[in-house]
């Protein structure tokens, strides 16, 4: 039985917590910013309840064996506020977030050898503070190694598949290439069906091609065909599917644009790779955000 703390019980954290709790193999604790009633998670396998244990004050948190961070990328500093207390005995810290900067984001707060970056493929949304819907199968990818193996063992019997990879850089950049194109929907406030429009698909192609060029410079192995794969995956998605950048904009929440497209611009500049499409997308979304306030 492992003691597991989930920092950030939103769509991903809440789903993962409910699934870990349902195995009966672990003691799961939710570390929440906002007090909430017990979670109900609707999954393709039926309804699950989240664990009863919810803490909202880091000073009241107890030592655990594993810390799973599932806040948005821009809430990393707040999430880190929990880690000192929960991980005082040296617990590993898994980062369940999008982007390619899991380690850079948390290494100011946690020694690198305790960090486990996680690529999350798990479509989930918060429908109310206490209700989450998992829309499809859950998969996660972690680097191969002792920590990765331990992390995978935690998820035995949860229905979430954990894959160990020798090349985490490539896994994270492949996901980023998919996410890079999602900014088109966020900008024009149109769901995935917008990629059936050839002009919009061309814009997305430029975004992904830049991501591929920068990813390769960072050491990822990304085939040219990935551009078409990404466009096809948006075109195959239900036309009314809304990606999280788009959903955050609709809900008036901050977006993860820095971790999704901003990183392509920043790392591109470091490698001398032009990224005009991503630069424009980041600038446009920033102006839209500023003009709201």
Ligand X SMILES: NC(=O)c1ccc[n+]([C@@H]2O[C@H](COP(=O)([O-])OP(=O)(O)OC[C@H]3O[C@@H](n4cnc5c(N)ncnc54)[C@H](OP(=O)(O)O)[C@@H]3O)[C@@H](O)[C@H]2O)c1
Alpha carbons 100 and 169: distance in angstroms, whole number: 8
Q: Rank residues 71 and 158 by Cβ distance to ligand X and give the closer one.
A: 71
Is 175 a residue of the active site? yes
Alpha carbons 293 and 285: distance in angstroms, whole number: 13
Contact of 87 with 64, CB cutoff 8 Å: yes
Residue 70 sits in the site that holds ligand X (CB under 6 A): yes
Residue 7 sits in the site that holds ligand X (CB under 6 A): yes
CA distances from 239 to 29, 187, 227 (A): 37, 16, 19
* Contacts for 120 with CB less than 8 Å, ≥ 6 apart: 12, 96, 97, 98, 138, 140
* H or E segment and range at residue 120: strand 115-121
Report the nearest approach of ligand X to the CB of residue 248 (Å): 8
Residues 231-290 binding ligand X (CB under 6 A) are 244, 256
Among the listed residues 16, 48, 55, 120, the single contact to ligand X using CB under 6 A: 120
Among the listed residues 5, 11, 22, 67, the single contact to ligand X using CB under 6 A: 11
Q: Which span (43-51, 95-103, 153-161, 186-194) binds ligand X, by CB under 6 A?
A: 95-103
Q: Which span (37-45, 71-79, 104-112, 144-152) binds ligand X, by CB under 6 A?
A: 71-79
Report the nearest approach of ligand X to the CB of residue 22 (Å): 18
Contact of 23 with 48, CB cutoff 8 Å: no
Q: Rank residues 8 and 51 by Cβ distance to ligand X and give the closer one.
A: 8
Alpha carbons 203 and 185: distance in angstroms, whole number: 11
Q: What residues line the site for ligand X (CB under 6 A)? A: 7-13, 31-34, 70-73, 75, 78-79, 81, 96-98, 120, 122-124, 126, 244, 256
């Amino acid at each position: 039985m492992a003691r597991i703390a989930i920092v950030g019980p939103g769509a991903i954290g809440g789903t993962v917590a409910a699934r870990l709790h349902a195995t009966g193999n672990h003691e799961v604790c939710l570390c929440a910013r906002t007090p909430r009633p017990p979670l109900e998670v609707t999954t393709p396998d039926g309804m699950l309840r989240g664990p009863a244990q919810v803490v909202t004050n880091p000073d009241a948190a107890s030592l655990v064996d594993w810390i799973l961070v599932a806040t948005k990328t821009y809430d990393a500093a707040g999430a880190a506020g929990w880690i000192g207390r929960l991980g005082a005995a040296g617990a590993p810290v898994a980062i369940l977030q999008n982007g390619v900067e899991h380690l850079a984001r948390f290494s100011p707060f946690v020694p690198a050898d305790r960090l486990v970056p996680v690529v999350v493929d798990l479509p989930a949304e918060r429908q109310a503070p206490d209700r989450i819907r998992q829309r499809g199968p859950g998969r996660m990818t972690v680097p191969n190694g002792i920590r990765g193996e331990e992390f995978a063992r935690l998820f035995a019997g949860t229905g979430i598949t954990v894959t160990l990879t020798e090349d985490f850089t490539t896994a994270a950049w492949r996901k980023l290439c998919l996410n890079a194109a999602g900014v088109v929907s966020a900008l024009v406030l149109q769901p995935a069906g917008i990629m059936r429009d050839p002009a919009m698909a061309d814009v997305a192609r430029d975004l992904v091609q830049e991501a591929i060029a920068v990813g390769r410079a960072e050491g990822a192995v990304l085939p040219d065909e990935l551009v078409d794969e990404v466009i096809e995956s948006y075109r195959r998605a239900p036309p009314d599917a809304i990606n999280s950048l788009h959903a955050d904009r609709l809900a008036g929440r901050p977006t993860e644009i820095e971790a999704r497209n901003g990183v392509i611009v920043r790392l591109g500049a470091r490698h001398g790779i032009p990224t005009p499409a991503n630069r424009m997308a980041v600038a446009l979304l920033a102006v839209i955000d500023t003009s709201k306030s």
